[in-house]
Amino acid sequence: MEQSPQQTPKWRTELFDWLKSFVLIGSVTAFIYLFIMAPYVVQGHSMETTLHDGERVMVNKAIYYLEDPKPGEIVIIHPDASGENWIKRVIAVAGDTVEAKNDQLYVNGQPLQEDYLAENRKKAEAAGEALTKDFGPVTVGEGSIFVMGDNRNNSMDSRVIGPVQLDHVVGRAEFVYWPFNAIRLP
């Protein structure tokens, strides 16, 4: 009488199938998180009134593999080796000259139209302050961008740390997804 080969118990086959599924799902999730999209929590008040402390934004990490940041985009940066993430607006790119005079920001000698600052400008005027204090001119070097927070009087940005290297740019803020009653494009 011949013996039949011993079959793997059904529970082991199912367990192995589940493990394969978890590994696949985990790998795809990690790939998306590391290279495509990731959530980010806004910390601080430097981007108010555009973005608020505690809001959550989805960050597109893949976009800057294809193109460089453009003026007006809101980006997440690692300004230094600390690993901290900051969120700021791109004001100028490589080759541009940035300066502020008499509460007006200029890029390449042209006044920059900044409609997103309307509310902050009203607050600064009511307090008798300039929203954007004089600085510059600063010429942005190759492979760098000049960033500033929208809440100019409460922002640590390129006016202090200098232009940010492109390899310190994590990605572009695409949309606010939390809180749910404030879902919007920044």
Query: Is there a contact between 179 and 52 (Cβ–Cβ < 8 Å)?
Result: no
Q: How far is CA 62 from CA 96, 154, 170, in A?
A: 25, 30, 9
In the set 4, 10, 27, 46, the catalytic residue is: 46
Contacts of 167 (CB under 8 A, 6+ apart): 143
The DSSP result for 96-140, as a single string, is -EEEEETTEEEETTEEP--GGGHHHHHHHHHTT--SS--EEEEEP
Which residue has tokens 């997440």?
76
Q: CA–CA separation, 177 vs 149, rounded Å?
A: 20
SS3 assignment, position 56? strand
Rg (CA), the chain: 24
Separation between Cα atoms, residue 186 and residue 16, nearest integer Å: 44
Residue 88 falls in the annotated catalytic set: yes
Instruction: Exactly one of 20, 61, 70, 88 is catalytic; name it.
Output: 88
Q: Catalogue the active-site residues.
A: 46, 88
